[in-house]
Amino acid sequence: MMIKRRVPNCAIIGIAELTPVRYTDGATTLGLIAESVRLAVQDAGLDKEGIDGLLVGPQVGETPQHVPATVAEYLGLEPKVSNVVDLGGATAAGMLWRAAAAIEAGMCETVVCVLANTNERNGNPRSPNRNPIREFDVPFGASGANTSYALLKRQHMEEYGSTQEQFALIAHWARKNAQLNPNAIFYGKPLSVEEVLNSPLIIDPMHLFEIVMPVGGGAAFVITSKDNLSSGDHPPVFLLGAGEKITHRAVSHAPALESAPLSYAISAALGQANVSVQDIDLLSLYDCYTSVVGITIENAGLCAPGKFGDWMKDHSFGHDGDWPLNTHGGQLGVGQADLAGGMSHIIEAVRQLRHEATSRQIRNAELALVTGNGATLSEATALVLGVES
């Protein structure tokens, strides 16, 4: 009996394998990764600009977190898709089908998958200091999120002349919207622009109320294929478009603000959904700091670079405004339950599109733009969610 084979859409075009050695004295995981990728890309007949996807393993001794961003920065890549695959001995095989799935989904075209490991003599630990953020940022005091995001805010103020009052307006609206969300940590605690400006200066020019409050919590969602939909209690909310990009890890290596990775991710998501930002009913924008929201508004094309403050003065951002923004209060109003804080933007978008947001419901909401931001405006994801009209 003839077996009809599935038509292949993806193929392996380059390989590399370093010669095993008993000990790798003086070597780093990042160095071995770089050499492996260089040889594989060379074997494929490409240059690094032809790589737009990156899958790595969890064991990179020079960084405990933000692994894809650290590796991408070290390699000089700006991937549109990136991920850590952590399946033990099945990691390599798991990488292959994930890369193919990303390509078939139209998220990227060419993915490099890489695994490497050092073996130090006498079990000496891998150096935690041989990566750009440890070399160029931490020794000069840029060792935490507050410092890095404050630097981005200062950069925006210096380049464009944006003001403290303009950034404070973002925090004001987050708290105002949180007053319609009884689950928000700051429910019952509205905030004026003046109160933002009078709050303690944590690190110049960032004030206390411009920074998320860490909280405990959790969030989850379930997604299935369109063919598997049932007549449940809620209308389905569809993923219409997605975009993703990494440009750096260390803030010292960040590109120009107008070229932040969210600019690509948002444009790609809107393009995949075949809509414009003017069609969006809800802006569900990641908001760990006020500076992130201002830059995201500009990256989305809602206004020109440097003009978010003027744009915000001309609009209203509540559920009944002309540009509903983080109607649940965002993380600045709700609190940030670690990574679940970012998921809250998806949850709010689904509530709004289901028309289940009660007192903060946007009238006739059909489309939502959701963004996610990792590291320091380094790892960006954007989604367009929608319902059938």
pLDDT tens across 96-105, in order? 888 989 998 9
**Domain assignment present for 4:** no
Indicate if 158 and 117 belong to the same structural domain.
no
Indicate if 266 and 352 belong to the same structural domain.
yes
In degrees, rounded to 5, the angle at the alpha carbon of residue 71 between the alpha carbons of residues 133 and 38 is 130
Indicate if 252 and 285 belong to the same structural domain.
yes
Q: Which of 104, 130, 156 is the last residue of a domain?
A: 130
Indicate if 113 and 193 belong to the same structural domain.
no
Cβ within 8 Å of residue 6, ≥6 positions away = none
Find the helix packing angle between 164-178 and 290-299, rounded to 10°: 100
Indicate if 363 and 261 belong to the same structural domain.
yes
Alpha carbons 212 and 317: distance in angstroms, whole number: 19
Indicate if 303 and 163 belong to the same structural domain.
yes
Confidence of residue 64 (pLDDT cuts 50, 70, 90): confident
Q: Which whole-number Å values give the CA distances from 337 to 27, 234, 343, 374, 378, in the listed order?
A: 37, 26, 9, 14, 20
pLDDT of residue 131: 67
Q: What is the overall mean pLDDT for the chain?
A: 89
**Domain assignment present for 196:** yes
Across residues 184-193, what is the average pLDDT?
Answer: 97
Indicate if 207 and 266 belong to the same structural domain.
yes
Alpha carbons 114 and 105: distance in angstroms, whole number: 21
Instruction: Using only the alpha carbons of the chain, give its radius of gyration.
Output: 22
pLDDT of residue 1: 47
pTM of the model: 0.83
Q: Does pLDDT of 4 surpass 60?
A: no
Please list the residues that pair with 113 across neighbouring strands. Answer: 55
**Domain assignment present for 180:** yes
- Tell me what percent of the residues of the chain surpass a pLDDT of 70: 94
**Domain assignment present for 106:** yes
Residues counted in the chain: 389
Indicate if 324 and 367 belong to the same structural domain.
yes
The answer for 216, left when phi > 0, alpha when psi is -120 to 50, beta otherwise, is: beta
Tell which residue, 295, 290, 250, 300, has the closest CA to residue 159.
Answer: 295
Q: Which of 130, 159, 182 is the last residue of a domain?
A: 130
Q: Which of 130, 158, 189 is the last residue of a domain?
A: 130
**Domain assignment present for 12:** no
pLDDT of residue 25: 87
Q: Are strands 367-374 and 282-284 parallel, antiparallel or unpaired?
A: parallel
End-to-end CA distance of the chain: 47
Q: Does pLDDT of 8 surpass 70?
A: no
Across residues 382-388, what is the average pLDDT?
Answer: 91
**Domain assignment present for 104:** yes
Q: Does pLDDT of 293 surpass 60?
A: yes
pLDDT of residue 73: 92
Indicate if 353 and 266 belong to the same structural domain.
yes
Q: Does pLDDT of 356 surpass 60?
A: yes
Report which of residues 292 and 25 the model is more confident about.
292
Lowest mean pLDDT among 109-118, 124-133, 216-225, 322-331: 124-133
Q: How many domains does the chain have?
A: 2
Indicate if 118 and 199 belong to the same structural domain.
no
Indicate if 219 and 251 belong to the same structural domain.
yes
Residue 346's φ and ψ, nearest 5 degrees, are -70, -45
CATH code: domain of residue 341? 3.40.47.10
Indicate if 113 and 154 belong to the same structural domain.
no
Lowest mean pLDDT among 106-115, 119-128, 293-302, 343-352: 119-128
**Domain assignment present for 287:** yes
Amino acid code (one letter) for 308: F
Check if the beta carbon of residue 383 is closer than 8 Å to that of residue 369: yes
Q: Which residue range forms the structural domain that includes residue 58? A: 29-130
Alpha carbons 218 and 216: distance in angstroms, whole number: 7
pLDDT of residue 201: 97
Across residues 214-233, what is the average pLDDT?
Answer: 80
Q: Does pLDDT of 114 surpass 60?
A: yes
**Domain assignment present for 139:** no
Confidence of residue 140 (pLDDT cuts 50, 70, 90): low
